[in-house]
Amino acid sequence: MRADRLVATLLLMQARGRVTAAELAEELEVSTATARRDLEALSAAGVPVYPQPGRGGGWSLVGGARTDLSGLTAAEAQALFLIAGPAASVAPQVKSALRKLVRALPGTFRAEAQAAAEAVVIDAAAWGDDTEEQPALVSHLQEAVVRQRKVRLTYAKRGAAASKRVVDPWGLVDKDGIWYLVAGTPDGQRTFRIDRIEDAEATGEKASRPDDFELARAWDSVVTAVERKRAETTAALLVPTRFLDIFRHQHGRHCTVVETAGDHTRVELTAPRPLDIARNIAGWGGLVVVESPGSVQAHLADIGAELVSRYPRAAPAEPAES
């Protein structure tokens, strides 16, 4: 994971004072080109890493070798933690490294560095949506989370007109490419899908956040509530094993593998209603077999009949006379 390597790179540079891309590549078991790109990424993020050309050169931290990060400015420390922080939600070793780095920082920098490290959670399990590009507002909202500033949102729920509201931004979640803002509102904790936020403006007013708030735990509660609503119907299906990865990616955590037997794998698929399951798998045609329940089978039959009625098969063309 790249964020893990970036943290490891910085720690190695602190210990040795100067490293070459080749030495770093050997230490981290990556290619020299990858090591060089990581060094350039640290430099571009504002961390004081710079190259020294010529024989005996390499990459160094400004100020030479150090045993702590006291040479970083507040902006540089925040940049580093913004890079590595999201990976801590999926890589325990990164979380451990970040804790050590926080303790090494001067006290005046620790609060914002810690906030940056905890501003984003990564949830790789999809909810069936296609992966999208990161919305432009993510970095703006991330800054508001780190600096603890209230944000005025213009937000449009699906099928509703946009409305304005002021929220306390508590954290961001990247769920397989779909981004969410977890925030405090007068009505309690709420979750906003970022691609439905039309505009976001920091007000300059300090945001409030519960002292015991943990983004990962809060997001877990959100997922549990959503999954409870989305899993009222369960269907048993047979999916060709060669297409299993595609099917699982398409349906995310709603698809659970039961067993694989030869060319087919039995899975369980959940959704709010039988009709939702039928609609979700109708495009697979005869490749997917529904074993149960009968209600899903009935809905698939209705969908098939509707399609045949709307798009009747054309009669084969008569051969032309010679």
Q: Are 271 and 292 in contact (CB under 8 A)?
A: no
Residues 48 and 77 in one domain: yes
Query: Does 6 share its domain with 113?
Result: yes
Residue 318 within a domain: no
- Give 199's strand partners: 154
How close are the terminal C-alpha atoms of the chain, in Å?
68
Q: Is residue 128 part of a domain?
A: no
Helices (H), the chain: 2-16, 21-28, 32-44, 74-84, 92-104, 107-117, 137-147, 215-230, 244-251, 274-281, 294-310
- 42 with 18, same domain: the answer is yes
pTM recorded for the entire structure: 0.49
CATH of the domain at 245: 3.30.70
249 falls within a domain: yes
> Is 187 in the same domain as 262?
no
Residue 272 lies in a domain: yes
Domain count, the chain: 3
217, 236: one domain: no
Same domain, residue pair 28 and 107: yes
Same domain, 67 and 44: yes
Task: Note whether 262 and 237 are within 8 A (CB).
Answer: no
Tokens of 154: 């213009």
Q: According to the model, what pLDDT value does residue 65 have?
A: 37
Domain-embedded: residue 86? yes
The widest CA-to-CA distance across the chain, in whole angstroms, is 93
Residue at 98: amino acid letter: L
Domain coverage including residue 155: 137-225
State whether 212 and 256 are in the same domain: no
Q: How far apart are CA 184 and CA 167, in angstroms?
A: 6
Full DSSP string of 217-232: HHHHHHHHHHHHHHTS
Rounded distance, CA 18 to CA 65, Å?
A: 7
Spatial distance between the Cα atoms of 309 and 63, rounded to a whole number of angstroms: 76
pLDDT confidence of residue 267:
97
Domain edge (last residue) among 58, 87, 118: 118
DSSP string, 129-163: PPP-PPPTHHHHHHHHHHHTEEEEEEE--TTS--E
Claim to verify: residue 112 and residue 15 sit in the same structural domain: yes
Whether residues 9 and 112 share a domain: the answer is yes
- Report the DSSP beta bridge partners of residue 271: 233
CA distance to 37, 96, 134, per residue, from 10 (Å): 13, 15, 26
CATH code, domain with 112:
1.10.10
Domain boundary among 176, 201, 225: 225
218 and 289 part of one domain:
no
* pLDDT by 10s per residue, the chain, length 322: 455 577 677 767 776 778 888 888 888 788 888 888 888 877 776 677 778 776 667 888 765 434 345 455 555 555 555 555 554 444 555 555 555 555 555 554 556 555 655 565 556 555 555 545 667 788 788 888 878 899 999 999 887 888 999 999 998 888 877 889 999 999 999 999 998 999 999 998 999 989 888 888 888 888 888 777 767 899 999 999 999 999 998 888 789 999 998 899 999 999 889 999 999 999 999 999 999 999 999 999 999 999 999 998 776 666 666 5
* Domain-embedded: residue 105: yes
Q: What is the pLDDT of residue 66?
A: 45
Q: How far apart are CA 193 and CA 284, in angstroms?
A: 29
Has residue 130 been placed in a domain? no
- Whether 221 and 236 map to the same domain: the answer is no
Q: Which amino acid, one-letter code, is at 250? A: Q
* Domain stop point among 118, 153, 170: 118
User: Could you tell me the CATH number of the domain that includes residue 170?
Assistant: 2.30.30
Reduce the DSSP state of residue 183 to 3 states and report it. strand
322 domain residue, yes or no: no
